[in-house]
Chain A
Amino acid sequence: MTTTFSQPEPAAERVTSVPILDCRNLSKAFPGVQALDDVSFHLGKGEVLAVIGENGAGKSTLMKVLAGVQTPDRGEIHLDGKAVHLDSVLAAQKHGIALIHQELNLLDNLDVASNLFLGREKTRFGMLDQAAMNADAVSYLQRVGLQISPSDRVSKFSIGQQQLIEIAKALSINARILIMDEPSSSLPAAETNRLFEIVRQLKSEGVSIIYISHRLGEVKELADRVFVMRDGKPAGTLQRDEISHERMVSLMVGRNIKQFYSRTPPKEGSAVLKVTDLVTPAYPEKKVSLEIRQGEVVGIAGLIGAGRTELLRVLAGVDLPLGGTVEVDGKPSHFRHPRDAIRAGLMLVPEDRKDQGLMIEDSVADNMTLPSLGNLAIGGILQNRSEQRKITVEGISSLRIKTHTSKKIVKFLSGGNQQKVVIAKWLGMSPRLLLLDEPTRGIDIGAKEEIYSLMDQLADDGMAILFVSSDLEEVINLADRALVMHEGRIAGELGRDQLTEQAIMSLATGQLA
């Protein structure tokens, strides 16, 4: 009896004891930062290892070292038990390691096959052998479940499909180790599921995967093991049966944080915004009606492309509506420009901080005072700087923005602090309704918590808040009620006690109508 049982065990043991990848004591310093500090970990064949940690924890540096983008100061990398030097991307690729960057690196003016073989083009008599590349491309595309023509331009495909093309590209170099950096951050839910299927399939084919993600729900679903980093050091490893939300969070932040923010119910306020039959340019045949009261925090959930951002853009005066009425404090309002909405007290914290929210090359002070300058000038001449300084100093202290001076250039701040600067520039203008589009995207858990409590506090002070989020937990924990959008219309409204992931998703996917 015992012998029959003991037979398979050493085999299983061997898979993990001779890891395909073994990193020992890796260290890497940049001027002023110890990005990696004595990091060791291993990866088994066909294993999905999730690497998590807050921004700046050293995940990216670690992955760059593995992909040959950067060389470690100290430490060794062993592949199949042999020490290797990964001193270039090419060297890493030769060893079968491929990194899929968070931002897609496809050239969207070229076709799919040209992208797959970029830098490794097949030639015949010195000319490009398009036919051979196309034929090969098809087989790699099929492995990731894409039935597309390799001679179509990349720009034709959705972000999700492009993500899969990236994976096909990695497979085309015969990658045994696939490093995926936040692969789902820009994917809608349906395509995320497709991505998971492919990850599982690759795993069954023996490909090892290092999966970096901020979305702990995904990690829980996908990972065989979780490797947590903090301040450049390993913070702990969780085996499959140890993986839980709480343990991951506490390892990441190094303390037990209050698990998400919970709202105190708002006092009954008067309606700040009343929207009737509003038609946005994205969905000319759909109408949206809603009402937001003073002191309320309302979430808008839904899939990407459901028309949530487009709704906020119209409310903020960025885009013009095609029909319908907007009333602010009972007065009909027509916004032809963001300035009109701002005057009425509707201010937008946009989805894309770097392109829409900030001048990232300018200082904290310049960013914060930009919308208020008109109020600070007489006859167009800027008045004494003390008023401007007051706005910045108050913004920095009340939002607890981590910067030693208001002259700091915004691009050198962390994502969370950048987002606070965007919010601060509006708080100086006393908004009636703050519109936030994905307010915590790409932000550390610690900073997220601060932004949640800020939103909560602003609502308690009587401001109305309308936010769009793809993070279901965020909507459930933060909103007094949620509007769920599906294909340009509001598919349903959920009160605080009805807010569950299932309820939101069934509305968002159009299952309940």
Chain B
Amino acid sequence: MSTSNKKILGILALFVVIVIVTAMSSNNFFRPYNIENLIKRISPYTVISIGAALVIITGGIDLSIGSVIALSGTILPYLLVNSGWSVAPAIGATLGVSALIGLMHGLLITKLRLQPFIVTLFGLLFYRGIARWLTNDQSTGFGNQFDGMRDIVTKSVSIPGFSFISIPNVLFLAVIIAVLAWVFLNKTIFGRYLLAIGRNEQAARFSGIHTDRYVIMTYILCSFLAGLGGILFALETNSVQPSGFGNFYELYAIAAAVLGGCSLRGGEGTILGTVIGAGVLQLLRNSINLLGIPSSLEYAVVGGVILIGAIADELFNRIATMRRVKHK
């Protein structure tokens, strides 16, 4: 079995363990309401984590995801409510701005050779500042005018014959994006090029790959998905507090990618692993809630699980290496 498959199995095992532990300690876990809610939470996080994973696979990093979420989450209501745009152009413009942000990151990183960490650290501060300025640091939202649009994200579809549970619409969107990303990474030459760039950018360039082009494309995809995530989060909550909206989300996205088997050195990672990684993190927050662990401990628990995951991965690798040596 390939190492990436092993990593997926590992993160899946972690997911299952948390599910079992939570379900055994709390009757509320498997209630339809909780499951539906959990899916609603996992879905937008999956979207932003996939973007982070693509960037990490090329050997880069994007720290600005949370701030891009804040910016798109404020621009959309601003255009709809304050400027009176209609829905389609407003969403188009919001996503367009997000993509442009990614384009700028990509250009700065490839053409000016700035480090991704610095470029996106700038973004982390800058977009949040713009979002707060745009709204005078006031909460914003869609009011009740746009419930039809919000329904697309907040409502669920019930399956005939299974009336006890219904499927949130946003799950379909997340699944579509995950499938597209999987096809992109595994079935197209672009995906192969991203992995090659992450492994050894110079050798990729020497092999005739337009490395700059693909790196730029990846940052565009990441910011685009962050912008889309911002829209989803905003529609879900209907209340965007620009100073706090999306705070730390880049870290959830990066953690999901890393838990899912992406190497920060680049060249390694899978979409499926990242999706499960995003699931683990949100599941964990849900479990903390259900198990009655004080919510003030949330970050500590999430951090602890990330560390344990990293240690377990390293130990498994060493055992595997030792076994391989013995077999020889």
By a beta-carbon cutoff of 8 Å, the part of chain A in contact with chain B is 31-32, 316, 318, 337-339, 341-342, 348, 350, 355-362, 366, 370-371, 373-374, 376-377, 380-382, 425
Contacts and interface: CB of A to CB of B under 8 A. Distances in A.
B27 interface: no
Given A31-B325, A31-B326, A371-B207, A358 B200 contact: yes
Contacts of A338: 205-208
Nearest to A341: B208
A454 to B, nearest CB: 20
B206 A377 contact: no
Interface string B200-223: 101111111110000000000000
B166 to A, nearest CB: 35
Interface stretch (B35-43, B103-111, B182-190): B182-190
A31 B189 contact: no
Contacts of A377: 188-189
B311 to A, nearest CB: 22
Contacts of A374: 189, 208
Interface residues of B, number: 22
B206 A380 contact: no
Contacts of A382: 187-189, 192
A11 B234 CA distance: 93
Given A31-B326, A32-B325, A337-B210, A356 B189 contact: no
B188 A359 contact: no
Given A31-B328, A380-B190, A348 B199 contact: no
A371 B203 CA distance: 11
Contacts of A337: 205, 208, 210
Interface in B309-328: 325-326, 328
Contacts of B267: 359, 361-362
B328 A32 contact: yes
Contacts of A341: 208
Interface of B: 187-190, 192-193, 196, 199-200, 202-210, 267, 325-326, 328
Nearest to B192: A373
Given A361-B267, A377-B189, A339 B206 contact: no
Contacts of B207: 338, 370-371, 425
A362 B192 CA distance: 11
Nearest to B328: A32
Given A380-B188, A381-B188, A355 B202 contact: yes
A341 B207 CA distance: 10
Contact of A362 (B199, B205, B208, B326): B199
A355 B326 CA distance: 30
Nearest to A350: B206
B121 to A, nearest CB: 24
A371 B208 contact: yes
Contacts of B202: 355-356
A362 B197 CA distance: 12
Contact of B209 (A339, A348, A361): A339
Given A377-B188, A381-B188, 10 more contacts: A316-B206, A338-B206, A338-B208, A339-B209, A355-B202, A356-B202, A370-B204, A374-B189, A376-B189, A380-B188
Contact of A339 (B196, B210, B328): B210
A381 B189 CA distance: 6
Contacts of A376: 189
A338 B203 CA distance: 11
A338 to B, nearest CB: 5
Contacts of A342: 208
Contact of B205 (A32, A318, A366): A318
Quick one: which of B187, B189, B204, B207 has the most chain A CB within 10 A? Answer: B207
23 contacts: A31-B325, A31-B326, A316-B206, A318-B205, A338-B207, A339-B210, A355-B200, A355-B202, A356-B203, A358-B203, A359-B199, A359-B267, A362-B199, A362-B267, A366-B192, A366-B196, A370-B204, A371-B207, A373-B189, A373-B193, A376-B189, A380-B190, A425-B207
